[in-house]
Structure 1
């Protein structure tokens, strides 16, 4: 597996597994994170996967004690190389599929009309295209449990808002460029808002505090306002 190593501050190494967002780079990221999750090195304190990279943070004091006067970065690189040997890209065929119901438009999706007008179509066409996409969660970031989801059709792409909103309600579905995502908590944001899901993404009291994880496939399912309200009542 091809990769490049770069220093990241004074206690981390950035492992670059591709130079553009792609399925191939994602599968490499997934393969490496699987190893780090199941066989975490003693010297590692944290790892952060992204679109095409994985950042590995380490304990500088421990590395200093182990490195025998070698530079910490060089020594950590020497420890990373055996991890990368024989690593094979994870295949997305085994990915978990998560269905996300969405109530589109109205008070839940105040920017649906804008997205439709921006792309020369009706709101119903935007909904049909958005809910029929083949989506993949590339990474979790920005806010606890926020999924950056790729695979959206360029037909409904839309720019971020010029002025971000100060408060976006939790579980709101948005579009920014050719990405779609879901706000797991109330937070400021500049994405175009097209709907809301009754499903909680951030679950801090559960063993797994976030519903979604990198590598998941997403299926959006349109639901009515009544279905949304009934779903909330049965939570």
Structure 2
């Protein structure tokens, strides 16, 4: 538990934010995911939505269905009833493997990011391609995951200027995190890998490929193997 956390803050007239920290950590993210899952399993009366960010659980409620202070008291009681920082992660998580080509003209900032991390391109590729990271939250664009945390060597800053555009499936790095883009967009994060992953599938029953709590690997493939893949190469396994 971090000093001053967890705490419950108001968000407008119909929301409460249960905060487990003021910066990303494994334990605070675990707590946010576990607490949201517990609310989904046993939803307090009047609650209409629960969602997580990196270290918080957002609770939206119907002010006509439950009084703010009553709901706050219920949430406080649940917070006191368990050590959420050590709680088990939600059930139904998966291990998702996404083949990635590092460097080349497809991901032209690998060398720059590797230098910032104090590594050669080969060592950086090995580090990123063997890491197993958690989807800490989904945000910014439909189905877009933030993933972490990487080793301390990857505590590199964002760029001071924006890259005008990276494509769908771009894997970018900064501040010990990876982001996999679901849209074509500008970014201040360094583009180190490229995938064929289609993260947002509006035609599917489950439109997002990834969920908060999933674990993800980005194994390295050659440019030739990447070009020859008939699909996106993504595999999904259930985690016990």
Q: TM (normalized to structure 1)?
A: 0.84
Aligned length: 226
State the match for 2:71 in structure 1: 76
State the match for 1:104 in structure 2: 102
- 1:82, distance to aligned residue in structure 2 (A): 5.0
Alignment RMSD: 2.4
- 1:196, distance to aligned residue in structure 2 (A): 0.8
State the match for 1:54 in structure 2: 57
Residues 135, 151 of structure 1: 8 Å contact kept: yes
Q: Distance in 1 between matches of 2:181 and 2:143?
A: 8
User: Which 5+ residue runs of structure 1 have no aligned equivalent?
Assistant: 68-72
State the match for 1:29 in structure 2: 32
Residues 11, 57 of structure 1: 8 Å contact kept: yes
- 1:80, distance to aligned residue in structure 2 (A): 2.7
Q: Distance in 2 between matches of 1:119 and 1:29?
A: 29
Residues 119 and 79 of structure 1: CA distance in aligned 2, closer, same or farther (over 3 Å): closer
Residues 99-125 of structure 1: CA deviation (Å, up to 9, x unaligned) = 121111112211111112323432111
Q: Distance in 1 between matches of 2:56 and 2:110?
A: 33
Following superposition of structure 1 onto structure 2, how do residues 75-224 of structure 1 map, counting pairs within 5 Å? Answer: 75-81=70-76, 83-84=78-79, 86-87=81-82, 89=84, 90-92=87-89, 95-224=93-222
Q: Distance in 1 between matches of 2:36 and 2:88?
A: 13
Of 151-160 and 132-141, deviating more is 151-160
- 1:61, distance to aligned residue in structure 2 (A): 3.5
Residues 155 and 199 of structure 1: CA distance in aligned 2, closer, same or farther (over 3 Å): same
Residues 14 and 122 of structure 1: CA distance in aligned 2, closer, same or farther (over 3 Å): same
Q: TM (normalized to structure 2)?
A: 0.83
Runs of 4+ in 1 over 3 A off after TM superposition: 38-42, 81-90, 92-95
Residues 3 and 220 of structure 1: CA distance in aligned 2, closer, same or farther (over 3 Å): same
User: Which 5+ residue runs of structure 2 have no aligned equivalent?
Assistant: 233-240
Q: Which has the higher helix share?
A: 1
**Bigger Rg, which one:** 1
Q: Distance in 2 between matches of 1:77 and 1:119?
A: 43
Say which SS state the counterpart of residue 107 (structure 1) adopts. coil
State the match for 2:16 in structure 1: 13
- 1:83, distance to aligned residue in structure 2 (A): 4.5
